[in-house]
Structure 1
Amino acid sequence: VTNEAGLSDFKALRKAITSRQQDLYFVAFDLLHLNGHDLRDIPLEDRREILAEMIPPGGRIQFSQALPGDAKSIFHLIEQAGLEGMVSKRKDSKYRSGNSTAWLKAKCYTIDEYELLGVEREAGKPAFALMAERGTGRYVGSAFITLNREMRERLWQRVQEHAGTAPNGMKRPATQWVKPGLIGRIKHLRGEDDLRHASLPDFTEETG
């Protein structure tokens, strides 16, 4: 799904899957099998050439065009355009399942401030913070707590000393709710109203 500027829009994609399927496009970027033939040992550049010849222009199935050049320069342009990120691949690479050194995903993150609603800590699991939009109190999602040891201990102390109650409609037994006053600086993927791939590297306390 693209926006008015012709750029991919992940937020709009999620809505279109359920309510506006006529707006969906399928963007193909690789071809692994063709007419019973395994193409995974063919270099990526050749696989993509075969794929491009199979896709007519102007349809709902589109070919993902490559952007050759310096990765840092391209990533800068992607950030400026407000896109989520990019994937870099070696042109001569063969396809292999799982992790690979032949391709690299680079994501575009942004940092925003949200109100801390509470924290969830369970034995053997990562701790994460529940965050809300400032001013409205709308729940926007959770973020992994990546504070250093000193700040983490200060956060636990603040939560214990200023225990609060669960917001209306939220039932999470493992959560320690906290009264308003803690503001988290959240690093998260751009492009949506709710948090994705979010972490909490810093927080402050409101004064006054």
Structure 2
Amino acid sequence: MSKAFEFCLPTRAQKVPAGRDWLHEIKYDGYRIRVERDGSRVRLITRSGHDWTKRFPWIVEAALQNRQKQFTIDGEAVVLGVDGISDFNALHSGRHNEEVQLYAFDILAGDGDDYRALPLTMRKSNLARLLARRPEGIFAAPFEQGEIGPDLFRKACEFKLEGLVSKRLDRPYRAGPSRDWIKVKNRKHVAFDRVKESF
């Protein structure tokens, strides 16, 4: 299954788009993961193609408990602190793997249908249906739509969150770098320094 799907990657930018054709999601500080379920088999695949199925059992269990037997979803594996904010240090330490959940923000396929050609609004609806009676372990990413983006980014920075990912409502899911997904980071967040140090 993993060869059939590749991640859509956001383009980094300095400014959040303000148009009505965008939706905006809080950027959680975690590991990008694709969850692939086919019957009784679940795989967690990272951006670099590693299989982390054994690493995050709560996500696997939540996927298996879903009433739908076949789906592929895209999201961020996170450890949430008591304040509800993702804690990258706790995640990275490996000491909290049992607590890692998936913040799901897209669905690529379900029940044998490939959703990637659908506009984002329709994929979001399919994802919401998939996770409507979700058990703990996988939760749907909240989002805001339209011109609220810049104001939402200011609030995200006030709450010391990592930033925002803004996505065009009407576009399909395409593999590789995409200008339909725009990532703007909070320059005061610790993740910003992590990225700078990695260059």
| TM-score interval for Structure 1 and Structure 2 normalised by the shorter chain | 0.5 to 0.7
1:44 aligns with 2:120: yes
2:196 is aligned with 1:198: yes
Q: CA deviation at 1:42?
A: 0.6
1:119-142 residue CA offsets vs partner (Å, 9 max, x unmatched):
xxxxxxxxxxxxxxxxxxxxxxxx
Q: Distance in 2 between matches of 1:191 and 1:22?
A: 24
Which residue is equivalent to 1:14? 92
CA distance, structure 2, for counterparts of residue 2 and residue 84 of structure 1: 13
Residue 106 of structure 1 deviates from its aligned partner by 0.5
Query: Superposition RMSD on alpha carbons, in Å?
Result: 2.0
Q: Secondary structure of the equivalent of 2:190?
A: coil
**Aligned residue number for residue 133 of structure 1:** none
Q: How does 1:23-42 map to 2 (within 5 A)?
A: 23-42=99-118
Q: Which amino acid aligns with 1:197?
A: V
Any conservation in 2 of the 1:27–1:62 contact (CA below 8 Å)?
yes
Of the three residues 147, 171, 175, the one matched with 1:93 is 171
Q: Does 77-86 or 32-41 show the bigger shift?
A: 32-41
Counterpart residue number, 2:14: none
Alpha-carbon distance between aligned partners in 1 of 2:83 and 2:190, rounded to the nearest angstrom? 14
**What residue in structure 1 maps to residue 151 of structure 2?**
73
Aligned-pair CA distance for 1:57 = 4.1
The aligned residue for residue 5 of structure 2 is none
Contact 1:42 1:94 in 2 (8 A): yes
1:75–1:97 distance in 2 versus 1, CA, 3 Å: same
Q: Residue type matched to 2:80 in 1?
A: T
Deviations along 1:64-98, whole A, 9 cap, x unmatched? 11122421101001101111111000111111112
Contact 1:25 1:61 in 2 (8 A): yes
What is the CA-CA distance between 1:51 and the residue it aligns to? 1.0
Pick the structure with greater CA Rg: 1
TM-score by length of 1: 0.52
Q: Bigger relative contact order, structure 1 or 2, given CA contacts below 8 A and separation 6+?
A: 2
Whether the aligned pair in 1 keeps the contact of 2:90 and 2:96 (CA below 8 Å) is no
Structure 1 segments (4+ residues) deviating >2 Å: none
C-alpha distance in 2 between matches for 1:10 and 1:67: 24
1:7·1:83 contact (CA, 8 Å) conserved in 2? yes
Which segment drifts farther, 38-47 or 20-29? 20-29
What letter corresponds to residue 32 of structure 1 in structure 2? L
Name stretches of at least 5 consecutive residues in structure 2 with no aligned partner. Answer: 1-78
The residue that corresponds to 1:62 in the other structure is 139
Aligned pairs for 1:172-187 within 5 A: none
